[in-house]
Structure formats: C-alpha cells, structure tokens
Structure 1
Amino acid sequence: MNRRDFLKLAGVSLLSLAALTMGCGSFNAAKADAPAPKVKQSTSEGASQNMNNGKKILVAYFSWSGNTKAVAEEIHKQVGGDIVEIVPATPYSETYSVTVAKAKAEQEAGARPAISTKIADFEQYDTIYLGYPNWWGSMPMPVATFIDTYKMSGKKVAPFFTHGGGGVQRCMSDLEARAQGAKFTDYLCLSGSSAKNSQGEITSWVKKTQN
C-alpha cells in the first residue's frame, strides 16, 4: 500500500469514528432534552367522547417498570378518550435500588419533582383515569406534582394502582387528601406480576366507573 492509499484509508476511518462519536453524543442529548410527552388521542371517531354519556376522558399514568403503563393502555383501549404519561423531567435510574432510595427520600422530603408532561386544555376533561404504582405505601412524588399542577376539583377521578405485594396502603387515602373536591370512583389495585394479564378484571372495574 502506498502512502496516498494509506492516507485515504486513514481519513475514511477517522471520519467514520467521528460520525459514530457525534451520533452517540446526539443520542444522549436527545434523551436528556426529550420533548414533553404529548396527549395521545384515540383514533376512533368520537372515541374521546363516546363513554360516560359523552363526557370527555383522559387516562393519565406514571410508570417506572411498565406494569402501570400496561394497565393504563388497556383502560384506554376500553374507554377511549385521550392518554398521557406523567414523565419526570429528570428520569429515574434504571437500577431498582437507586430508584427505591430516591423515591423514599423524595417522599420523606415532600418533594415535588418537575414533570415534563404538558396538557394544553385540562379543563376539557370530565373524567380522569389516574394510575400509578405503590411507592413506599403511597404515590410517587411526580404524581403529586401532576395533581398540584392539574386541579381535579369537580372532575370524576377513577384511580388505579399497581403494587409489588403491599396492596393499596395509602395510595387511595393520600390521593383523596391531595385531590380535594374530586368525585372518586372505586379504585382498581393490581399486583405488578398480573398487571399485563388482567383484562377481565379491568373490564369489570371500568363498568363500575361508568355508573
């Protein structure tokens, strides 16, 4: 290989390495500066108003492991309306022990972590299906931020929870205390291990919330 060919090959390799490095940097930046989650509307014609006598529905949920998300998506499938995820501005660690410790510290401090979730016209919704996992016996603090931001007084709220063995504990009572003035239905509480296979139980509960 002559000098010219060597330099040409070296140049291509350096350009490839630079592109790969920039790509990784762009990915990390995009993940850190991800846009606020948008409210996803039902694709069925009139679905956002076809339940509960034409009242407009929002399914809002917080999920770390994906269990509560699975329940929320099944509820949305059954009731129609719109759906939005409650997303903390600073993501929790994917390491369980780290997130558990942070969640405990936030709860003990009464923290209100910033959320990136934005809802342009929350007042339009009559019924809110609100779900989250049991963290240290109560709600994750980003949910408290959501409740403080989007007032639910006068709205019908249908709560649903997932848990890892602790059951409902203070999830319902703390929600009632924080979202004062809301009209609560019976809650749904599912173990995380069964959350993705509870269509029948969800259906029975959904019917109760529509009375």
Structure 2
Amino acid sequence: MVTLQNQSTAPNTPGDIKMLIVYFSHSGNTREIANQIKNLTGADIFEIQPIDAYPESYNAVVAQAKKEISGNFKPKLKSMAGNIEIYEIIFIGSPNWWSTIAPPVATFLSVNKLEGKTIIPFITHEGSRMGRSASDIKKYCPGSTILEGLPIRESNAKGALRDIASWLQCLGFNKR
C-alpha cells in the first residue's frame, strides 16, 4: 500500500484542483498508465517527445540511455506543456532507465519551474521498481512536495487499472 509523504497535501477530490499528467513513453507502457490515470482523475495530459526519437531496438535504446544518463545529457523536446503554472498537481511518468527517469523527463523537469506544486511520480519498469527515480525527481523539483510514486511492471501495464485506482485512493483521490 502506498503511503503519503505528508497526508495534509492530499487532495479531497479530483475536481477541486487542476491536475496534469506529464509522461514519456518509449514502448507505450508508460502511455498506457498515463491514460488510465487520466481516465480515473480527469487530469489533463501531455506526452513528452524528444526531437530525435529513440531507436526502436531494445539493445540500441539501452545503450543510448546509458550513455545519456551517465553524461547527464538532456535531449531537446518537440514541445513543452503550455501554461504549466495553472496546475497544482503534476503526475510525472517515466520508464525506469538505468534506475532513474528517462532523459526526456529530466529535460522537462529541468526547464519547468515546479516549486510549490505537488508532484506524483509513476514509473514503469521490468524489475527495478522505482529505482532512484523519486529522489532524482526531488533534485529537479526543489520546493515541491513529492508524494509516494507508483511502480508498475511494464508487462503488467495493460492490466494495472486496479493497482492504479488503489494507489490514487491511498493518495486521497475519490473515485469519479
């Protein structure tokens, strides 16, 4: 069961405040989770897309991600979520690459001022769970409240609705 960092920061109902889901998905699994969160919360949604797409080959992506992460590389993005200041809660979704967030997510977090916002991470993985994703998100988001995230195994993404609903309920979201 997910616990809150600070229960006083949990919203009472999804309709009370503006929420945004921001995510990067290479294989479609993180997109699947993002869409399920959108369906349950009614939050707006934005997909992070790098200008230069990642290769489709698993081995090529793994090698490129390792190089980018070890070099602290932040790829340029096709577009940015507009008017981000209107959102109080931002869900951040990423695959777990080398135990952290994918570089396009790092780019997004590094160029947006998220101070004072509530950040809720969700991570897709193949066994490494959250890794250090939450602590790395905290580094990019000083002055933000980071709530407990949700790790979902990539192979379970399509069947994760019950886990997502339970996680959201633990965070204080009422069912719609």
Instruction: Give the TM-score band, short-chain normalised.
Output: 0.7 to 0.9
Tell me the alpha carbon deviations over residues 111-159 of structure 1, each in whole angstroms, 9 at most, x when there is no partner.
Answer: 1100113222110011101110100010111111000111211001111
Residue 27 of structure 2: aligned partner: 65
RMSD, matched Cα: 1.4
Which stretches in structure 1 are left out of the alignment for 5+ residues? 1-49
The share of aligned pairs that are identical, in percent, is 36
Asked if the contact 1:103–1:141 (Cα under 8 Å) also holds between the matched residues in 2, the reply is yes
Indicate whether 1:104 and 2:79 are aligned. Answer: no
Question: Structure 1 or 2: larger helix share?
Answer: 1
Work out whether 1:144 is the aligned partner of 2:106: yes
Count the aligned residue pairs.
Answer: 162
Equivalent residue for 1:118? Answer: 80
Q: What's the TM-score, normalizing by structure 1?
A: 0.73
Structure 2 residue aligned with 1:93, among 22, 43, 55?
A: 55
Higher normalized contact order (CA 8 Å, seq sep 6+, divided by chain length): 2
Can you give the 5+ residue segments of structure 2 that lack an aligned partner in the other structure?
1-11
Aligned pairs for 1:164-179 (under 5 A) are 164-179=126-141
* Residue 43 of structure 2: aligned partner: 81
Provide the secondary structure at the position in 2 that maps to 1:58: strand
The C-alpha deviation readout for 1:85-106, integer Å capped at 9, x for no partner, is: 0101100011111111111000
TM-score by length of 2: 0.88
1:210 paired residue among 166, 172, 176: 172
> What residue identity is the alignment partner of 2:97?
W
